Amino acid sequence: MKKIIVATAVLAAFSASAFAAAVPVTNINAGETKVAAEYSLSKKTAQDTKRKDGFGVSAQQGVSDNLAAQYSFNKVHRTGADIKDHQLAGAYAVHPNINVYGAGTYVDMGPKQSGFGYQAGVIGHTQLSDKIEGFAKVGFGNDIKGTYQVGASYGLRPDIDLNVYYQYDQYNMNQNKTDVKGLHAGVGYSF
């Protein structure tokens, strides 16, 4: 019950102003819950000449030692209409350093530009040092055509990690296409 209350409070605190993406599921531990808040240092869309900043949130739950679920909400501010991206993903460890994932998505890019979709891909991760883990993610789908992500997490404490990554997303809703790219930094808390 305590885990649910903490996760709900963190997600509620940031969801109204979310603007970023989520660190991919790398290490899967049965019963472990992780909540994260992230800040987009420099986000750019194809339609905007100025870079914008904001926040994002995610929650992850280890179902077994090989399976985890993750929810993330991303809101990208842009000229015209914002992009709101909800993703519910399942990740499965096929190797100690490789996870595959499948996700249901809901993307809203403005009037008559919203809908449900899917995405699938692969996540690679490896320990670079005692406390630093590198990761890369590639995914493809129908409304988020492509996701490319590369970054690193630093284990500040066993239950707290800091992360930084670059992400590039290609959105396509009813012939409305846009690319979103930028640098992200955040903190995750596991319990």
Residue by residue, what is the 3-state secondary structure of 134-159?
EEEEEEEECCEEEEEEEEEEEEEECC
pLDDT for res 12:
39
Cα separation of 137 and 98, whole Å? 10
Question: Rounded CA gap, 159 and 54, in Å?
Answer: 24
Dihedrals φ, ψ of 66, to 5°? -120, -5
pLDDT at 11: 39
Report the DSSP beta bridge partners of residue 93. 99
Please, what are the domains in the chain? 2-190 (2.40.128.90)
Task: Tell me how far apart the alpha carbons of residues 95 and 64 are, in angstroms, rounded to a whole number.
Answer: 14
Backbone angles phi, psi at 186, to 5 degrees: -165, -175
Q: Looking only at Cα atoms, what is the longest distance across the chain?
A: 48
The reported pLDDT for the residue numbered 65 is 96
CA-nearest of 170, 162, 166 to 186 is 162
What tens digit of pLDDT does each residue of 132-168 get?
999 999 999 998 889 999 999 999 999 999 999 999 9
pLDDT for position 10: 40
- Cα–Cα distance measured from residue 37 to residue 10, given in angstroms and rounded to the nearest whole number: 8
Ranges of the chain whose pLDDT falls below 50: 3-20
How many helices (H) does the chain have, and how many strands (E)?
Answer: 1, 10
**17 φ/ψ sector (left φ>0, alpha ψ -120 to 50, else beta):** alpha
Write down the pLDDT at residue 178: 82
